[in-house]
Structures are given as C-alpha cells and as structure tokens.
Homo-oligomer: A and B are copies of this chain.
Amino acid sequence: MSWLDLPADSGFGLDNLPYGVFSTRGTARRTGVAVGDRVLDLVAVTGDSVHATGSLNAFLARGPRAWAELRGQLTDWLTDAAHRGAVEPHLVPRDDVTMHLPVAVADYVDFYSSQHHAENLGRMFRPDSAALTPNWKHMPIGYHGRAGTVQISGTPVVRPAGQRKASADDSPTFGPSQRLDIEAEVGFVVGMPSELGQPVPLAAFGEHVFGICLVNDWSARDLQSWEYVPLGPFLGKSFLTSVSPWVVPLPALEAARVRPPARDVRLLPYLDDADAEPWGLDVRIEVRLNGELVSCPPVDLMYWTPAQQLAHMTVNGASLRTGDLFASGTVSGPARDQRGSFIELSWGGTEPLPLADGTTRTFLQDGDVVTLTATAPGTGGGRISFGEVTGRVEPASPP
C-alpha cells in the first residue's frame, strides 16, 4: 500500500519501479523511477550524484547489492506515509518529462531464440533447406549488432537505402528499402561486468543482468537477404534499433518467471537449465500498427532463456561490460496473430495483413507508426507494464 494514489491497473505500481533517464524543461538528464503516472527524481530524492550522470551505467556498475538496497529504500519511501513530505515534491508528472536512452550501450547482441520465428524465417529465406539450421537446438544463435544506433523510443525511423537484388535480376540495384519491417523483442541490460576469460554460468544471471526493456530491431528485409551470406545481417539492421525508456529490474519479474518449453535435444552442461532456476518470462508483447493491435507475441514460448543467452555469449571467455545490451530476437508464437514481424505476419509479403480500415499491409509504409507495449504478472497480483517503444517511418533521405 502506498500513500500515493495509484490505480490498481496503472502497470507502474510499487511492484514495478522501473528506471529511466529523463529531463524536464530546465533540468539536465537524470535518473528517475516511474511510479503511476509520475517520475520520481532520484537526484533530488537521494542526493546521490550517480543519478545525475545522464545514463544508468554508473549506478548499474555498483552491482546487485546496491540495486537491491535502492529498491528497498524506494519501496519504503513510497509506502510509509512518514516519508511523504520528503518524497512527494520530487514526483514529476510523466507527461512533463522527456525520456532519453537509459543506458550508454556498450556491446549490443541480438539473439534468435524463438523457434517459431526461426522456422518461419528459415522457410522464407532458405526454402530449399530445413527450416532450422542444424545448430539451432544446440545453442542460442546470436550476432553482434551496432551499439551506436541503439536509440530511444520515438526516434524517427528514416527508411534506409541500400543494395537489394531480386532473384530474377542479374545484379543488385540501389534504393530505399521496399521491405522495411519490425522485430518485436525484449532486451536485457547488463549491469555488472565480467572478467575476460571468465564465463558467466547460468546461475550467475541475476548477478550481472540488471533489468529488461522492450526492443524494436527495425529490419530492411531486402537489404538483409542480399547481404547476409556468409557473415550475417549488417546494413539490413544497423540503421536503427529502438528501445523503451524504462528498464524493469529483475526483481519486478519474480512472478513472471516460468519454465521454458521442453527441450528436444540434450543440452551441453553449460546450457542445461533443467535443474536451474527458470528464466523463461511470462511477458506478453502487443504490437500496434497505427494504433491497431496486429499481434501479441508471447515471450514465455521462447526456446532459449536470457540466462542461457548470457551463458552462451560468455562461454568462450568473452567479457561483459556495464551497459551491454542483449536482445531475445523476434518473439513469435505459433499463431499468426502472435508473430513479431511483418515478414511473418504477411508471409514474406504474399499474404497481406488485413487492417481495420479495409486496407492491407505487407511491409511498412512511410508514415506508419509501430508501437510495442508489454506487460507481465507483477508480484502485487496485477500486471506490471514495460511502457512502450514506438517509431514512425519517415521517407528515405534524398540521395
């Protein structure tokens, strides 16, 4: 119970308390925590300059004990009416703030952990082969993306130009992408670094990962399909990756943790989570195109958990840095209305998606606005919100 007047369904109750970086007219970027429809200014309420650095990184680098301590304090301050006088002046209406990229991203890795998505893409990109590559059930496949183009929700999505080649053509042509797409994902923010040469086992996930956000990994499918053999996606992805402003700390997800799907092959010991604490997550994403709900991708069906992704990413001795971001890969369920990309929703453009206004859509058009939201069961009995990540497609720049 809070002395704040929080509606039961706000999604930003005391069981959430996500962190972000905000500014107001006249104040520099600082860390805040979302509570109901307000933001608690952590610089003002704690007096700790770590929250005035313009990103969460310095606070994250303090490690899990500091994270737990502050979360305990915030809960206390927002629960015990004795603190009301000291705290309430530092609650700013969320409508009055500008949100910024919460984390200075160190390395960005994108996984490919939904079996349904991987099978769908495999069928479309490699119709003459098995839908899943032979390695897929043995390891969480992933690749490094461009950290420098990870941007805050709301950043305009300028349609990228590049090379693409239709199979009937002899040589590639150049121009704006004709197959601009989304990838609805969840992202995991690393707080505590690790040493070069020291793998991070499954059980240490919570010691390194601070929290979770939403990720839209915008994708130009025509650029991607022409470039990606043999070294993987590059310009088809690197123009923009959007993240939600609020990072939900792991303890807020205690009630959302579920067992991942049953495994079809025996996993190597470093990935075998049969006897481990489960890190499947019962998070439901909603994908809206120009306000219309078009898909509800279910994170709980992801084959690989973020703990497995982290264990895999470091098993070769690769080190972690504060601010590393790794994302799940497109979240897709088995049903059509659970697919997390338009290439799946429209089956490569061959089955246009009917919209409420009577039109259809295959890939994104200029002016389209795509918004991802998500919720998960909170520890308070209701659902917690991840806020949103949104972007509007702008026409390609003139050459």
- A interface, CB within 8 angstroms of B: 106-107, 112, 122, 125-126, 133-135, 138-139, 141-149, 151, 155, 158, 160-163, 165, 171-174, 196-199, 220, 223, 226-236, 238-240, 265-266, 268-270, 312-313, 315-321, 324, 397
Contacts and interface: CB of A to CB of B under 8 A. Distances in A.
A315 B265 CA distance: 42
B316 A235 contact: yes
Contacts of A134: 165
Contacts of A316: 160-162, 220, 223, 235-236, 238-239
A258 to B, nearest CB: 26
Given A135-B172, A148-B319, A265-B171, A231 B162 contact: no
A316 B238 CA distance: 8
How many of these chains are in the complex?
2
Nearest to A110: B231
A162 B312 CA distance: 9
B139 A318 contact: no
Given A197-B397, A315-B162, A138 B171 contact: yes
B318 A235 contact: yes
A230 B125 contact: yes
Contacts of A313: 235, 238
Contacts of A233: 231-232
Contact of A235 (B198, B231, B315): B315
A142 B227 CA distance: 9
A163 B147 contact: no
B235 A269 contact: no
Given A135-B172, A138-B163, A148-B318, A232 B268 contact: no
Nearest to A107: B148
Given A232-B228, A235-B316, A240-B196, A146 B144 contact: yes
A126 B324 contact: no
A181 to B, nearest CB: 14
Contacts of A174: 268-270
A106, A148, A223, A320: residue with the most chain B Cβ atoms closer than 10 Å: A148
A135 B313 CA distance: 29
B172 A107 contact: no
Given A144-B144, A144-B234, A158-B196, 6 more contacts: A133-B229, A135-B172, A142-B234, A231-B232, A232-B232, A317-B397
A144, A162, A173, A196: residue with the most chain B Cβ atoms closer than 10 Å: A144
A319 B149 contact: yes
Contacts of A315: 161-162, 235
Contact of A148 (B106, B135, B138, B270): B106
A138 B266 CA distance: 42
A270 to B, nearest CB: 7
Nearest to A223: B316
B324 A148 contact: yes
Contacts of A198: 397
A320 B268 contact: no
A220 to B, nearest CB: 7
A320 to B, nearest CB: 7
Contact of A227 (B106, B139, B199): B139
